[in-house]
């Protein structure tokens, strides 16, 4: 999965953080394929007619990443974790925007066909998952981060363990506990939504 030696990426991240703008130009070709794979994994979870494409997601994430040069970069895994988080934020922002349009936004009111209904439902599910992840992060930041890296970022258990400096078995345990918690939370949200005012 890793296309270049992690040490060279780590060195470039440190140089970039220190203000060497040329380091970013050297860094991006080294991590591009991996970031594209992450973007593709995110988009595979989206509806097939999503107007945001893999390349657009990658570009939006890149624009957000260049604003993060002051992060105390640890290594390649840390960079990819931040990239995964940036991609998640792009998709959530996009879903919020779509939900705004559904609620009236700046669009003319029209009847929605079944396909549009499914697309908007997917956007609401992504927003619901994002909100549940925020609640999980308030209780246990690392479990929320494990979910983000594993589910959204597509990182392996070993890569996540390297990122946190913990054993793979600990990552697997936290992944399982976080999934169970999220399923309960999302089920509660569904029940509350269905029992709400008509």
Each residue's pLDDT tens digit, 164-187: 889 999 999 999 999 899 888 888
Query: Residue 61 and residue 39: Cα distance in Å, rounded?
Result: 9
pLDDT over 90 percentage in the chain: 11
Where do we find the tokens 């169970």?
180
- The DSSP output letter for 166 is S
| Confidence at residue 169, expressed as pLDDT on a 0 to 100 scale | 95
- The answer, yes or no, to whether residue 131 has pLDDT greater than 70, is yes
The pLDDT of 20-38, averaged and rounded, is 84
| Confidence at residue 43, expressed as pLDDT on a 0 to 100 scale | 75
Query: Residue 117 and residue 120: Cα distance in Å, rounded?
Result: 5
Where do we find the tokens 């105390």?
72
Beta strands in the chain (DSSP E): none
| Confidence at residue 7, expressed as pLDDT on a 0 to 100 scale | 62
CB–CB of 157/172 below 8 Å?
Answer: yes
Encoding tokens for residue 83? 């990239």
Give the side-chain half-sphere CA count within 13 A for 153.
Answer: 26
Query: Residue 168 and residue 164: Cα distance in Å, rounded?
Result: 10
Encoding tokens for residue 79? 């960079």
- Identify the burial level of 169 via C-beta atoms within 10 angstroms of its C-beta, where 0-12 means exposed, 13-18 middle and 19 or more buried: exposed
| Confidence at residue 143, expressed as pLDDT on a 0 to 100 scale | 92
- The answer, yes or no, to whether residue 50 has pLDDT greater than 70, is no
Where do we find the tokens 């203000």?
19
CB–CB of 119/49 below 8 Å?
Answer: yes
pLDDT band for 6, please (50, 70, 90 cuts): low
| Confidence at residue 46, expressed as pLDDT on a 0 to 100 scale | 66
User: In this structure, how many other beta carbons lie within 10 angstroms of the beta carbon of residue 73?
Assistant: 20
- The answer, yes or no, to whether residue 157 has pLDDT greater than 70, is yes
| Confidence at residue 133, expressed as pLDDT on a 0 to 100 scale | 87
Each residue's pLDDT tens digit, 96-129: 776 654 544 444 444 434 434 444 556 677 778 8
Each residue's pLDDT tens digit, 137-150: 999 989 988 888 88
The pLDDT of 59-88, averaged and rounded, is 80
């Amino acid at each position: 999965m890793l296309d270049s030696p992690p040490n060279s990426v780590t060195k470039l991240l440190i140089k970039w953080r220190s203000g060497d703008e040329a380091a970013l130009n050297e860094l991006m070709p080294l991590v591009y394929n991996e970031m594209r794979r992450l973007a593709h994994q995110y988009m595979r979870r989206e509806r097939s007619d999503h107007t945001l494409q893999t390349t657009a997601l990658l570009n939006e994430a890149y624009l957000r990443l260049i604003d993060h040069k002051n992060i105390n970069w640890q290594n390649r895994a840390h960079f990819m974790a931040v990239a995964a988080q940036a991609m998640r934020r792009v998709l959530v922002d996009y879903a919020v925007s779509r939900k705004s349009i559904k609620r009236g936004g700046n669009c003319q009111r029209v009847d929605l066909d079944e396909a549009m209904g499914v697309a908007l439902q997917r956007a609401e599910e992504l927003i619901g998952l994002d909100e549940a992840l925020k609640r999980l992060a308030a209780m246990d930041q690392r479990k929320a981060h494990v979910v983000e890296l594993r589910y959204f970022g597509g990182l392996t258990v070993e890569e996540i363990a390297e990122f946190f400096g913990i054993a793979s078995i600990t990552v697997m345990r936290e992944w399982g506990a976080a999934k169970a918690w999220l399923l309960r939370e999302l089920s509660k949200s569904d029940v509350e939504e269905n029992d709400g005012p008509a």
